[in-house]
Structure 1
Amino acid sequence: MKEIHVDLSLNQPIIEQINKVINGESNATYNEHILTFDNEIGKGVIRNIIFDWGISLLDYDVHFNEKIKLVFEIAQSNPIEFLFVSEGNLLYTSEHTGKNQNLVKLQRYQNTILSNLPNSNNTFIFPSGEDIKLNVIKIIGDQYSNKSNNYIDTLQKSLKSILSGKSEFLPYKHLGNFNLKLADIIETLNAEANYGIVRSMNIEGQLNLILALQILEHKSYETKLSLPNSISKTDLNKTKAVTKYICENLHDSFTVKDLADMHAFSPKKMQTGFKLLYGKSVNEYIRTKKLELARELIESTEFSISEIVYQIGYKSRSYFSKIFYDNYNILPADYKELVRSKSSISEEG
């Protein structure tokens, strides 16, 4: 595992410190510093943008060929970090007073807020062979508190304390709900293609919106309320239970309401869970799994198409033929003939 150390007390850009190990191409324009690389270590882009009042953005769109341990050595003015993973998963651990803390999995779409004690380390472990997109908004409390209309007093007690420079809640770790809206906004942020002042203003505006949503989610989580497009870990586990039930009962026919009632689940929350996990609605997921089973049955059994339609819980052969064609660009009967002809050629050979 390759290690990269970034000393936040040094008067040296973060990107330059990372690039000592990455050996990519580093470019700086105005307040934005970008590292691009495509070599034996991996491929990707790491970007750092510095704004006023101690706010900065550090984001990663990377694919490493080996595990990378990225260690941030925190100075006296430790930041509070608002993190969001929109692709993949990675690990985090904090280190303070010489003690390593347990590794925490930073999961895709989960709202995460971290802050450590001064003179400590924040360590991120990027897996090998996976695409990772991580968005980190950092706020240095003693700089942000100098901003007029900073509204620190309106925050939840924990965040207010951290930004005010107190240590009663440190080290702090908030692993909140999973939110699709944040993913959409961050995707827009990463796609920003303008230059100069327009680019800077657009990114800062999107950054403020992301930060506002993450703070709002934090407040909702602590007060046990639920935001639109947001789902708790408990409900995400329910989604996985529904998924398991679907896959084990593909021969049955059931509606979204049936599944929700069986698992004591809100249909709306269940739909959000499926969008988060699979990028599909519940019905789209069911249809995909039934078609996969149908294709497998065509390839490995002598069932007729009508028997296969029955096996996957459909009543209409014409409907099945339509969705099979829409998905695989071939009619099931033609696919069955194709499989048979290939098998016959193989046996003759």
Structure 2
Amino acid sequence: MKNQIVVPNVYNSSPDEFFDGTAFIPKEIGDLKLLRKECRNQIVYYDWNLSFKDKTFASRPDNFGKDEIQIIFNINQKIDWQVDSAHETVNMLPGEVCVFRNKNYATSMNYEGDKNFQFKSLQMTTDFFETLLSRYFDSDKIEMGKSLFLTHVTKTAITADMYKVLSEIDSAEKYHEFKGVYVEAKMIELIALVLHGIFYNKTSLIERNKTIAEGNQSDIAQVETLHHRIQFNPADDYKVPQLAINLSMSESKLTRLFRSLYGTSIHQYIQDQRLENAARLISSKEVNVSEAALQSGYTNMSWFSKEFQKKFGLSPKKYSMMKPPVTENC
């Protein structure tokens, strides 16, 4: 059985709040979770998480009147993507990023059933993208950029540096009132890394080294899925030996790959995400300090308080008495 759905308009979703897709995708068909961050400089970041019970064809008749550049990072599954009513078909492997101009085109994707799909994307108006090109490049590079990005879909590999910046954007909450300027800088950095990857001919590496690289890209996709799981479910029980078994790789390979992608150890990332989750719960005023600790994976309150103070410079109790920072678009 193949389901058909129309992709909802997510442009009006609230920044830093999960978009609830149940109004558009019934539970019996699948699930959509979406987190959005946006900047005053007109760049929007989306973190997509989708799953469908059966094969599903998802389409969008247009881009809601927008002419924009979309940079899409495919994290963990192979997908077929049709642009402009199938005039151009793009096959994306896990670990690939593509750049294209969506000039209010119709787009669609085919999703396999019983799989989780993860994407991250940067989107900006075409005018703003052209402004970036003219601001930083000479005329030859500007024309090259326009020929690459404004007329067809261009792909390259997601590098370790790109994965690291994606992770930093996802974890920006820890910078509190400085989050806006931090995320804005990281979005510009991520665009620079993608442009560098394409300008310097790394696009050809995808086809030339596909047989060699698919195993590596598969490992990276699995580690990114683990990273994503820790980010959104920090309280789960994570033990490196069991994680390595689940991912069919050695402990040394798993820990080495995780550190190379995200610049930190698995253990440290788990602790950081648990503390940041606890801080969010405490700031929300919906639970007390003890409950926030338990919901974040801590059973030893003394250890939790010590680690919390080390990270945030305040005890959990004093932190709970602080006025929550005003949330602004970055």
Residues of 2 paired with 1:42 and 1:75: CA distance? 23
The alignment yields a C-alpha RMSD, in angstroms, of 3.8
Change (3 A) 1:63 1:215: same
Name the CA distance, whole Å, in 2 between partners of 1:153 and 1:161. Answer: 14
Q: What's the offset of the Cα at 1:119?
A: 4.1
What is the number of equivalent residue pairs in this alignment?
220
Give the TM-score normalised by the residue count of structure 1.
0.51
Which of residues 181, 189, 198 is equivalent to 2:169? Answer: 189
- Give 2:136's aligned residue: 151
Look up the match of 1:212: 192
Is 2:110 the partner of 1:130?
A: no
* Contact preservation (8 Å) 1:34, 1:46: yes
Q: Deviations over 1:210-260 (max 9, x none)?
A: 211111101112797xxxxxx5332231356xx7xxxxxxxxxxxxxxxxx
**Contact map agreement 2:148 2:154 (CA 8 A) in 1:** no
* 1:92-103 aligned within 5 A: 92-95=81-84, 100-103=86-89
Q: Note the C-alpha offset of 1:73.
A: 1.2
**1:186-265 aligned within 5 A:** 186-194=166-174, 197-221=177-201, 232-239=206-213
Q: Structure 2 vs 1, CA of residues 185 and 273 (structure 1 numbering), >3 Å: closer, same or farther?
A: same
Q: 1:182 to 1:115 in 2, by over 3 A?
A: same
Residues in 2 aligned to 1:90 and 1:79: alpha-carbon distance in whole angstroms:
22
SS at match of 1:132: strand
Structure 1 pair 275–127 and aligned structure 2 pair: CA distance change class (3 A) = closer
Gaps of 5+ in 1: 8-12, 17-27, 164-168, 225-230, 244-271, 290-349
Which of the two has higher C-alpha Rg? 1
Amino acid of the residue matched to residue 67 of structure 2?
Answer: N
Is the contact made by 1:177 and 1:221 (CA closer than 8 Å) also made in structure 2?
no
Structure 2: tracts of 5 or more residues without a match: 224-243, 250-330
Q: Aligned to 2:5, which of 3, 6, 11?
A: 3
The correspondence of residues 50-199 of structure 1 with structure 2, limited to 5 A, is 50-66=38-54, 67-71=56-60, 73-74=62-63, 77-95=66-84, 100-116=86-102, 118-145=103-130, 150-151=135-136, 153=138, 155=141, 157-160=143-146, 169-170=150-151, 172-194=152-174, 197-199=177-179
Please say if residues 73 and 158 of structure 2, whose CA atoms lie closer than 8 Å, have aligned partners that are also in contact.
no
State how far apart, in whole Å, the 1-side matches of 2:72 and 2:183 are: 16
Distance 2:99 2:197 in 1: 11
**Kept after mapping to 1: 8 A contact 2:82/2:109:** yes
SS in 2 for 1:87: coil
Q: 1:161 to 1:233 in 2, by over 3 A?
A: closer
Measured in 2, the distance between the counterparts of 1:173 and 1:148 equals 18
In 1, Cα distance between equivalents of 2:213 and 2:148: 34
TM-score, L = length of structure 2: 0.54
CA contact (8 A) 1:53 1:144 kept: no
Q: Which amino acid aligns with 1:63?
A: S
Which structure has the higher relative contact order (CA within 8 Å, separation 6+)? 2
Q: Which runs of 4+ in 1 moved over 6 A?
A: none
Structure 1 residues 14 and 273 mapped into 2: Cα distance closer, same or farther (>3 Å)? closer
Aligned partner of residue 153 in structure 2, secondary structure: strand
Change over 3 Å in CA distance of 1:77–1:273 after alignment to 2: closer
Contact 2:48 2:118 in 1 (8 A): yes
